[in-house]
Amino acid sequence: MDYKTGEILAFNKPLTWTSFALVNKVRYLLCRHLEQKRLKVGHAGTLDPLATGVLIICTGKATKQIDVLQAKTKEYEATLQLGSTTPSFDLETPVDATYPTKHITRELIDTALRQFVGRIEQVPPTYSACKVNGHRAYDLARKGQDVELKPKVLVIDKLDVLDFNPEAMTLDIRVTCSKGTYIRALARDIGQALSSGAHLIRLCRTRVGDYTLDDCVEIDDFPAWLTDHPQTENKEIT
């Protein structure tokens, strides 16, 4: 491994951590391991604090590949709570409305999900990193300001039902999609398509390109992992 010249590493982002916090921790551990003060480190695709899963982190000149890695197909597994919504479309904010669910069946779910496969338009969540007049949408939303975001074109390659619990009204799905897909917004839209409401209660990114959870390092294991994968020199990164 040549962390100084550049490496691509996969981590399983812990729950409640921001992607930026994980990058900072990796940078700190690498700098301590390499006994140097500075090292260029960046991530390829933000994960929400309440999401877990594959986060690609690049070091050194490998950060030049971030745009390419961000464009790779991604896969997520998510659990939706049907019948209620939150302003953030996940558990960051409390439930703000409830809706009927007695009419929701597996057949209705299968029919509703078909409309989200392929090339679609999606309005990003208000609680997102999208910029509005130079400000992050989530900063404006948390200040109580109205935020209007324009729809974006994206591609959902596959949308599969993993489980549906009619008693708890929870829906587990697997989503294979393009860059820029907000699974929280998909949850919102699925709820509306079911003539009800929905929000995320669990989200895990299981794949980015060829990197899966099996390829990921846990941050708590990273110091020992570095010992097993020492720094070598003279690696060429273009």
Catalytic residues: 48
Phi, psi of 50, deg, nearest 5: -90, 10
* Amino acid sitting at position 238: T
Please tell me the distance from the alpha carbon of residue 96 to that of residue 137, in angstroms, as a whole number: 19
Please tell me the distance from the alpha carbon of residue 191 to that of residue 200, in angstroms, as a whole number: 10
Please tell me the distance from the alpha carbon of residue 6 to that of residue 169, in angstroms, as a whole number: 46
Query: Residue 189 forms beta bridges with which residues?
Result: none
Q: How many CB atoms sit inside 10 A of residue 234's CB?
A: 6
What separation in angstroms does the CA of 27 have from each of 2, 12, 35, 39, 180? 14, 16, 12, 7, 26
Please tell me the distance from the alpha carbon of residue 186 to that of residue 92, in angstroms, as a whole number: 16
Q: Six-digit token pair at 184?
A: 């929280």
